A and B are shown apart, each in its own frame.
Chain A
Amino acid sequence: MSAITSLSELLADTAVDVTQPFNAPWEARAFAIALRLTARGVCTWDEFRHHLMNEVGKADKAHAHGWVEPGEGYYTHFLRALENLLREKGIVDGPALRAKMHEINDHDHET
């Protein structure tokens, strides 16, 4: 999906199911993880929201200059915010995440 920048294009985009909150399973998963972490008291929703606003704000700044990162969307900001929060809390850092990604990748290629 290419980046859609104007509202009329967005409203006319028939590829997006307007009745469904998520466009891909990973978006739903990322959302559920964030919500579950707040329910477990790992963080508050406001703490998460703070990171989300940062990521959305960064993208907005680029957007205002006419630059849209290919493939970027709300949930890529959301996911980055989640990673930032977990790093800040000392729960999951970058190297651990990359190692796990490799592990899953290798495993998927073996099977």
Chain B
Amino acid sequence: MSENHSSVPTGAALRVKALEALLEEKGLVDPAALDQIIDAYENKVGPHNGARVVARAWSDATFRKRLLADATTVVAEMGYGGPEGGHLVAVENTPRVHNLVVCTLCSCYPWPVLGLPPAWYKSFAYRSRAVRDPRGLLKEFGLKIPEQVEIRVWDSSAEQRYLVIPRRPLGTARMNEDELAEIVTRDSMIGTAIVKPPSRKGAPA
């Protein structure tokens, strides 16, 4: 089966190669600039940026307030800019509310803070169910949200992108911002996971 299907990516690879060659002839793209973009999204821009934003929000009440009021400005001040970063909204999880982010029509995502979206975020299965059945969907991620907790689903668009501020786990009171940033996961900032307390060596799981 894979023999047959391997012709599809090969075709796509050739198409892209041809497109790039044509655009290069027209002076619209150049290989070095493309390499730079790929390197940025493979190695530099990613959820570690968002994790720093969340860690600071957990550590600094004033920052948290500003972030919730105007995430676009606050995140830009931290140096996380670039395309698809405009109109960022931070939504905060509380004991009563769990936030979940989706883009039902395509793949809008806050690149500067989370990088490019994972495959499942772009899948029909995720996009078609997040609004209809968020509780059931989250169960597939291994996340059971109690009935009394409201799930708010945010549908991203060209106008607005969302960053979930997950709840700070118990047992992290002594951790500093750097340590906190390390336990914040990508999925917790999309809303398909919660942040777990760090596992201590020798302690039972």
CA distance A75 to B151 in the complex (A): 30
Q: Chain B residues near A33: list those with CB within 8 A.
A: 16, 19-20, 23, 29, 34
B23 smallest CB distance to A (angstroms)? 7
Number of interface residues of B (CB under 8 A): 53
Task: Specify which of B12, B84, B115, B140 is in contact with A8 (CB 8 Å cutoff).
Answer: B140
Interface residues of B in 78-124 (CB under 8 A from A): 83-84, 105-108, 115-120, 122-124
Say yes or no: A76 contacts B21, CB within 8 Å: no
B18 interface residue (CB < 8 Å to A):
yes
A residues sitting closer than 8 Å to B (CB atoms) are 1-2, 4-8, 10-11, 16, 18, 20-26, 28-33, 35-40, 42, 45-46, 49, 52-53, 56-57, 59-60, 63-64, 70-72, 74-76, 79, 82-83, 86, 91-92, 96-97, 100-101, 103-105
Grouping DSSP codes into helix (H, G, I), strand (E, B) and loop, the A interface class, with mixed when no group exceeds half, is helix
Q: Chain A residues near B19: list those with CB within 8 A.
A: 30, 33, 82-83, 86, 92, 97, 100
B199 interface residue (CB < 8 Å to A):
no
Q: Which 9 A-B pairs have the closest CB atoms?
A: A71-B8, A21-B116, A7-B125, A100-B18, A32-B34, A26-B13, A32-B37, A74-B122, A101-B18
